[in-house]
């Protein structure tokens, strides 16, 4: 188990929420011109990952990747700058929100659903080849778990006992398709047996429960026993992407979930009530985080877009394949 306190994790969640809100502002002001998928409401999962991974461990994420990037230690500034399509971004503005790459931290993403696990499996195989006791985390949503790559990757990991940790964020929806309608079983964790994998389902609004289960999963994989499947349940607070009219979910249910089951509020309550945190100093720390994010946002907004003249760079043929 990591040495992080509940308060640490809570503050990380605050930082994540503020980060997503900064992105929201970028959408509202049309600074981000592509589509954006936010993880608001799912912070307890990402914050539960903290403390278990080093730069030697890999994490491969999805279209909904910002929180995982932060959890993996990707610095906020170049991350936000990439999402804002700026030349100061991690990829110089060539990648954008769905294509975040931070090689030194072994963090990458893809916008194609189901494509994360195969890449994570490659990192897990690299660990084997290089004799490193590292793990590779592949993230998928509940929807992505129905793609063929899930099966292929877990079977390979199981048969070679590779250190692959599959983190399923089950937020009950894949765009407009509810989990129960698209999945044969009641849980996704129970599929673990098909791959001789460790499997567990955890309440993804409970950051400590996630942390403890993720710690177990990582330990299992790291010790060479094979892959682990951790399913964390949660709820997508916003539309699938910013701009999604989200008419397919009962509005009453959605509003109630957001009001009554916000992981940020739940965790804050624990920090104060059970952890006995001083509300004043907590509020100060929250404010400091908000200020940090605001400062980054303001700076990113001042950054330049990439130079259009470079649009043909970075392909070996330089746009003259022909």
Ligand X SMILES: Cc1ncc(C[n+]2csc(CCOP(=O)(O)OP(=O)(O)O)c2C)c(N)n1
**What residues make contact with ligand X under the rule CB under 6 A?**
63-64, 111-114, 140-144, 169, 171, 173-175, 236, 240
Report the sign of the C-alpha dihedral through residues 123, 124, 128, 131, in that order. Answer: positive
State how beta strands 107-109 and 58-61 pair.
parallel
- Sole binder of a second copy in the list 144, 149, 163, 263 (CB under 8 A): 149
Biggest CA pair distance of the chain? 67
Q: Are 134 and 58 in contact (CB under 8 A)?
A: yes
Give min distance, CB of 4 to a second copy, in A: 33
Binding region for a second copy (CB under 8 A) out of 188-196, 213-221, 281-289, 304-312:
188-196
Fill in the per-residue mask, 211 to 250: x = in contact with other proteins (CB under 8 A), - = not in contact: ------------------------------------xx--
DSSP SS3 for 130: helix
78 versus 143: smaller Cβ distance to ligand X: 143
Q: Are 84 and 26 in contact (CB under 8 A)?
A: yes
| Residue with smallest beta-carbon separation from Mg ion | 141
250 versus 276: smaller Cβ distance to other proteins: 250
Q: How far apart are CA 17 and CA 21, in angstroms?
A: 6
249 versus 301: smaller Cβ distance to Mg ion: 249
With CB under 5 to 8 Å by kind, the binding choice for 35 among a second copy, Mg ion, ligand X, none is: none
Our finding on whether 191 is near a second copy (CB under 8 A) is yes
DSSP SS3 for 126: helix
Q: How far apart are CA 209 and CA 6, in angstroms?
A: 11
Give min distance, CB of 212 to other proteins, in A: 27
Please report, for residues 8, 157, 280, 282, the alpha-carbon distance to residue 287 in angstroms, rounded to integers and kept in the order given. 15, 44, 11, 9
Q: How far is CA 11 from the centre of its chain?
A: 17
Our finding on whether 108 is near other proteins (CB under 8 A) is yes
Q: In what order do the strands lie in the sheet with 58-61?
A: 101-102, 107-109, 58-61, 136-141, 164-170, 228-233, 198-203
Which residues, 22 to 41, sit near other proteins by CB under 8 A?
A: 33-35
Copy the structure tokens of residue 242. Answer: 């910013």
With CB under 5 to 8 Å by kind, the binding choice for 66 among Mg ion, a second copy, ligand X, none is: none
Give min distance, CB of 112 to other proteins, in A: 6
Q: How many helices (H) and strands (E) does the chain have?
A: 11, 9
Q: Binding residues for other proteins, how many (CB under 8 A)?
A: 81
Binding region for a second copy (CB under 8 A) out of 24-32, 46-54, 95-103, 153-161:
153-161
Our finding on whether 251 is near other proteins (CB under 8 A) is no
Our finding on whether 58 is near other proteins (CB under 8 A) is yes
Task: Tell me which residues touch a second copy (CB under 8 A).
Answer: 146-152, 154-159, 181-185, 190-191, 193-197, 226
């Amino acid at each position: 188990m990591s040495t992080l306190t509940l308060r640490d994790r809570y503050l990380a969640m605050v930082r994540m929420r503020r980060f997503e809100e900064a992105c929201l502002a970028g959408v509202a002001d049309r600074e981000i011109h592509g589509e954006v998928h936010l993880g608001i409401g799912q912070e307890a999962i990402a914050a539960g990952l903290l403390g278990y991974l080093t730069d030697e461990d890999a994490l491969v994420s999805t279209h909904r990747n910002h929180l995982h990037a932060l959890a993996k230690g990707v610095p906020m500034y170049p991350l936000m700058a990439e999402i804002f399509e700026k030349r100061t971004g991690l990829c110089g503005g060539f990648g954008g929100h769905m294509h975040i790459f931070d090689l030194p931290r072994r963090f990458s993403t893809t916008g194609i659903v189901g494509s994360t696990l195969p890449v994570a499996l490659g990192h897990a195989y690299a660990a084997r080849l290089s004799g490193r006791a590292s793990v590779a985390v592949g993230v998928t949503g509940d929807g992505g778990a129905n793609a063929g790559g899930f099966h292929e990757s877990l079977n390979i990991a199981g048969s070679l006992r590779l250190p692959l940790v599959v983190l399923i964020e089950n937020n009950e929806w894949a765009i407009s398709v509810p989990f129960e309608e698209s999945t044969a079983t009641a849980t996704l964790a129970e599929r673990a047996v098909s791959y001789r994998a460790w499997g567990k389902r955890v309440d993804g609004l409970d950051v400590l429960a996630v942390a403890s289960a993720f710690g177990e999963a990582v330990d299992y994989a790291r010790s060479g026993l094979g892959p682990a499947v951790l399913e964390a349940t949660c709820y997508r607070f916003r539309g699938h992407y910013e701009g999604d009219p989200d008419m397919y979910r009962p509005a009453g249910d959605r509003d109630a979930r957001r009001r009554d089951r916000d992981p940020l509020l739940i965790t804050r309550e624990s920090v104060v009530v059970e952890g006995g945190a001083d509300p004043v100093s907590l509020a100060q720390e929250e404010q400091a985080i908000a200020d940090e994010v605001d400062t980054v946002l303001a700076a990113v907004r001042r950054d330049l877009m990439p130079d259009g003249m470079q649009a043909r760079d970075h392909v070996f043929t330089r746009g003259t394949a022909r």
